Amino acid sequence: MYIPSVYPMKNRYKTHQQQYALIDLDHNEDMFSNQCGIKNKQDDEEDTDMLTFIWGITNWFLKQGSTGLQKIKYDNRIKQFGAEIWYFFTNAQYWIPFLLNQCGSVLYYYSLSKTDFSTAVPVTNALTLLITYLCDVISRPQLLNSRFLIDHKMFNNISNRTFSIIRHGLKPSFSMRIQNASTKVRFNYEDAFDLESQLKDDERMVRDQFRNYCQEKLMPRVIEANRKEIFHTEIMRELGELGVLGPTIQGYGCAGISYVAYGLLAREIERVDSGYRSAFSVQSSLVMFPISEFGTEEQKEKYLPKLATGELIGCFGLTEPNHGSDPGSLETQAHWDENKQVYILNGTKSWITNSPIADIAVIWAKCDDKEIRGFILERSMKGFTTPKIEGKFSLRASITGQIAMDDVQVPKANLLPKVKGLKGPFSCLNNARFGIGWGTLGAAEFCLHTARQYTLERATPEMISLIKRNSCGKSLDIARQCRDMLGANGISDEYHIIRHVMNLEAVNTYEGTHDIHALILGRAITGLPAFATSTSQPTV
């Protein structure tokens, strides 16, 4: 049996007002036995005492944690293959080498137990990775006599308790204790990111109330909306009644909730459909946010309360037919007419969510001084039109269009005065991206839950063809890349590619999925199935 030992402190020195001790690893089983008071016993009895001691130390790890181990993690000084391990310590006592020896054994046995789940020592959260790394180093024979710096202060106040366990012969079945303590933690498919444990009560309340609305009111409508490419405008009023529009804004009829709660809202609505989340995000992050951040008090009083209730619907005009990812090159112009004391806006915006139904639009345009400025345009302004983009094969439950501006006269009172340049639109986009980041998790979770339930309930046939897997997979990859090359137009049926992408998604699944082909190929090559039922045996 390999027992990592620690000689009494030697080569002690001071650096940065801290004490250190250099520790060597060695095959010193006798030292371990003597320190434990184990003499003239058979090997199996000796192991029992050692395991009892190890369990005492391990139990302390579970309950107390370790400042030293945390220090290692954050300093990133553990390397798995041969580097020194650094621990800090202060006020070392004479018994520390003894305790370090035992803790080395704890880590060693934990390393061994990784190969036997029935006796695995449980170690929680942050400690798991650290102790695993430590075990991998300690248990490598080629690393004997490597030097380690150990944090001694983490062992204060535990020696008496540990010694008591040994002296009083507390020897419960080690394997039983370990088995009871190492109950397997099952993956929670309903909360894959363990968000529940991290949320506050008010955040859970906001999420649960909005989830009920989304599942009871939006889910029954989404299939029809997607099939017929319809956005039900009454949804904006319903969201307003719930108080979830512009939710992070303080005052003006807005809820003023945290950004975490806002993310939870986006997650729940996109659990139903990305199109609904898109309409929600545009209203909150791209219309209400810039008015709140960059608008005058008069603008806030005029627009925000009605936007918060859904009485007004807004849109955000930045993307243009020739300029998407390079907004600094936008072509929409805002010319100041000195005689009429108004800005004259001319230009076109494209792929604008909510534009066909919008009452107001936040438009970004270049002024005479080449600075990009924001303007609030209203539906009633002459020369302001918003044709709908038809034939989308994505985000069909939201409405998308263009914004055409032909000599639209915008009073100076509608200029957002507190921002110039790309800071304005980029601030809005960053706010919206926060919601998108949360929202897409909701869509992914819905897909995971649905697919998991479906695959658990449905039995699938076995045999499929090799050529179908390769041809379908490659064709789908090609179609997706071609759709990307067309930019926003890639989802328009006018160019046909999106139709092929959507069709190939189905073709890739029917008559045997891509992954089923991989399983069959693996069995044909190796003679081994990926899994076997209780009544069948793998063939070699």
Residues labelled as active-site residues: 511
CA distances from 520 to 10, 76, 405, 506, 514 (A): 61, 43, 58, 20, 10
Q: Which residues lie below 8 Å from residue 50, measured CB to CB, with a gap of 6+?
A: 32, 36, 38, 105
The answer to whether 463 touches 470, Cβ cutoff 8 Å, is: no
Residue 223 CB coordination number (10 Å): 11
Exposed, middle or buried, 383 (CB in 10 Å: 0-12/13-18/19+)? Answer: middle
Kindly state the tokens that stand for 455: 């695959």
Rg (CA), the chain: 33
Taken in order 402, 235, 299, 254, the sign of the CA dihedral is negative
User: To the nearest 10°, the Cα dihedral for 237, 243, 248, 253?
Assistant: 90
Look-up: residue for tokens 């998308």?
400
Residue 98 CB coordination number (10 Å): 21
The answer to whether 280 touches 348, Cβ cutoff 8 Å, is: no
Q: Which residues lie below 8 Å from residue 371, measured CB to CB, with a gap of 6+?
A: 420, 421
Q: Which residues lie below 8 Å from residue 365, measured CB to CB, with a gap of 6+?
A: 330, 332, 333, 334, 345, 347, 372, 373, 375
Residue 337 CB coordination number (10 Å): 11
Map residue 390 onto helix, strand or coil.
coil
Instruction: Provide the pairing of β-strand 85-86 with 148-149.
Output: parallel
Distance CA 462, CA 533 (A): 14
The one-letter amino acid code at 178 reads I
Closest CA to 26 of 3, 55, 49, 50: 3
The one-letter amino acid code at 193 reads F
Strand partners, 45: none
Kindly state the tokens that stand for 421: 């340049």
The answer to whether 515 touches 530, Cβ cutoff 8 Å, is: no
DSSP secondary structure letters along 59-87: HHHHHH--HHHHHHHHHT---SSS--EE-
